[in-house]
Amino acid sequence: MSQQPGTSGLIFNEPQLWDKSRKGRCAMSLPKLDVERVELDKTLTGDPPDLPQLFELDVVRHYTRLSQWNFGVDSGMYPLGSCTMKYNPKTNEVQAARQGFASAHPLSGDEFSQGALELMFNLEQYLAQITGFDAVTLQPAAGAHGELAGMLMIHAYHAKNGKQRSKILIPDTAHGTNPASATLCGYESINIKSGPDGILEPGTIAAVMDEDTAGIMVTNPNTVGFFESNIKKIAEIVHSKGGLVYGDGANMNAIMGIVKPGEIGIDVLHLNLHKTFSTPHGGGGPGSGPVAVVKALEPFLPIPRIKKELDTYKFITDCQDTIGRIHTYYGHFGIMVRAYSYILSMGAKGLEDASKLAVLNANYVKESLKGTLNLPYDKPCMHECVFNDKFQNKYHITTMDMAKRLLDYGFHPPTVYFPLVVDGAFMVEPTETESKEYIDQFIHAVKAIAKEAKTNPEKLKKAPHLTKVTRLDEVSAARKPCLCG
Ligand SMILES: *Cc1c(COP(=O)(O)O)cnc(C)c1O
């Protein structure tokens, strides 16, 4: 335990700012009033807000302490499966904060925004090259928003071809946002069961694909951490009935420079710049979910689109078949700058190496923990591996108990109870940026916890023990978010 990063020293209690407020305290000193005092019209200003009265040092300490309670990838390992919580190099933050980018205003117009437009144009080209598609939009604000944009394009494609379809195939290993996006487009989701080895079987698709089915939404690599190796055959079956293949590319971190989704039968794919391409995330945004498409879907891309004419870049909006605008202006520009900086600084070889390392690290975790936790699918994985609590259930210990205990060892817990196809799932995504030492500490912690499940299950059931607060009622915390206790 002494080797673990978790600690409990020097953690302060932190009351609310209002509790520390003392009448008359103030964080600034203004020069003495040298003009006549005038009362403001109360009917215009209303009552002054009830703000706490504090010294500057009160405020600085308050927020600095709160920031120390926070946990992020910059403070420790964050092996949250399906989220790619990798370290984001600070150079990408520096580029996004450059004044020319940070203070660019969308209403400046194309003429005064040439640098920003050029960056976006080039980023579209890079993403097209990385994914193997013909055209890209950077507008969607998140992965799920990219899915919606992509599904709207599939919807528009079928409408244009004269006959709308009513259903969409969604495997049981798809991300939960997939059926939600399909439903928003008016499609009925048909749940498809994966085979015994965690991937789709072409026969299952052939049995249900018909001419009233708009297509399939495949998460690849899927949420159990496997590459859908029958994807080409599946795409052929879907295409033969006039359907389209939507690829959820949020797991691109496993396959950059190795597989181009545009070359294996996928027609439209979204990426998560905030997962794969270096933007800190987990705090609720902003994100960016660009969508890449094949030629046949290009006319449906959202407007505005960026065009290059001679050496000038401009936005165009006169695209007859477009699904229209899906974001104000052109999406979250700051995230695009980070992704552009990341791609340029990594280079093609660097991106490929990142994916290979992400896969190697996940397989190392899988092999190291496979006797400790039950491994429902014992075969090589991609960038994440899924265990469950079957071995621990006989001591009445669950995935939740183990996840909570990991907090005492200084680790953010992995993803729990997802994907749904694995009972009691415990899903680990170490990412390429963790060193062997950190990963070994994590493995050591999980092994110690599994041992405790046998020797002291009562203690484990009450974990965490070293955190500021111990086990919380999560349902109430979500339903009644009251911060005053
Ligand atoms: C994260 C994720 C999404 C959703 O992305 P958001 O940016 O959170 O909307 C969709 N699919 C997969 C596979 C993901 O991992």
* Dist CA 86 CA 431 (whole Å): 6
Q: What is the structure's pLDDT at 69?
A: 84
Q: What is the structure's pLDDT at 82?
A: 94
| Domain shared by 336 and 367, yes or no | no
438 in any annotated domain: yes
Report the run of H or E that residue 216 belongs to, with start and end: strand 213-219
Q: What is the structure's pLDDT at 2?
A: 46
| Domain shared by 206 and 269, yes or no | yes
Q: Kindly give the distance from the C-alpha atom of residue 249 to the centroid of ligand 1, in angstroms, as a whole number.
A: 9
| Domain shared by 185 and 300, yes or no | yes
| Domain shared by 111 and 226, yes or no | yes
| Domain shared by 414 and 311, yes or no | no
| Domain shared by 328 and 385, yes or no | no
Predicted TM-score (pTM) of the model is 0.92
User: What is the SS3 assignment for 189?
Assistant: strand
Q: What is the structure's pLDDT at 239?
A: 98
Q: What is the structure's pLDDT at 485?
A: 53
Q: Kindly give the distance from the C-alpha atom of residue 227 to the centroid of ligand 1, in angstroms, as a whole number.
A: 17
Tell me which residue has its CA closest to atom 2 in ligand 1.
250
For 72-86, the pLDDT digits (tens) are 899 999 999 999 999
The CA-based dihedral angle spanning residues 144, 131, 334, 415, taken in that order and rounded to the nearest 10 degrees:
50
**Ranges in the chain, pLDDT < 50:** 1-2
Range of the domain at 385: 353-473
421 in any annotated domain: yes
Q: Kindly give the distance from the C-alpha atom of residue 145 to the centroid of ligand 1, in angstroms, as a whole number.
A: 9
End residue of a domain, out of 318, 345, 372: 345
**Alpha helices, DSSP H, located in 174-269:** 177-184, 202-208, 231-240
| Domain shared by 176 and 255, yes or no | yes
| Domain shared by 438 and 292, yes or no | no
For 210-234, the pLDDT digits (tens) are 999 999 999 999 999 999 999 999 9
34 in any annotated domain: no
Domain holding 260: CATH number?
3.40.640.10
Going from the C-alpha of 433 to that of each of 85, 94, 279, 369, the distances in angstroms are: 9, 19, 14, 20
Count structural domains, the chain: 2
Domain holding 363: CATH number?
3.90.1150.10
Taking CB atoms and a 6 Å cutoff, what residues make up the pocket around ligand 1? 82, 142-144, 175, 177, 219, 248, 250-251, 272, 287, 289
Nearest to 12 by CA among 75, 72, 65, 71: 65
| Domain shared by 377 and 292, yes or no | no
Q: Kindly give the distance from the C-alpha atom of residue 22 to the centroid of ligand 1, in angstroms, as a whole number.
A: 46
Tell me which residue has its CA closest to atom 5 in ligand 1.
143
| Domain shared by 213 and 127, yes or no | yes
Looking at ligand 1, which atom is closest to the CA of residue 144? 9
484 in any annotated domain: no
| Domain shared by 381 and 263, yes or no | no
End residue of a domain, out of 314, 329, 345: 345
Taking a C-beta distance cutoff of 8 angstroms, is the pair 234, 218 a contact?
yes
| Domain shared by 286 and 158, yes or no | yes
Would you state the structure tokens that stand for residue 55, as one six-digit string?
A: 């010294």
324 in any annotated domain: yes
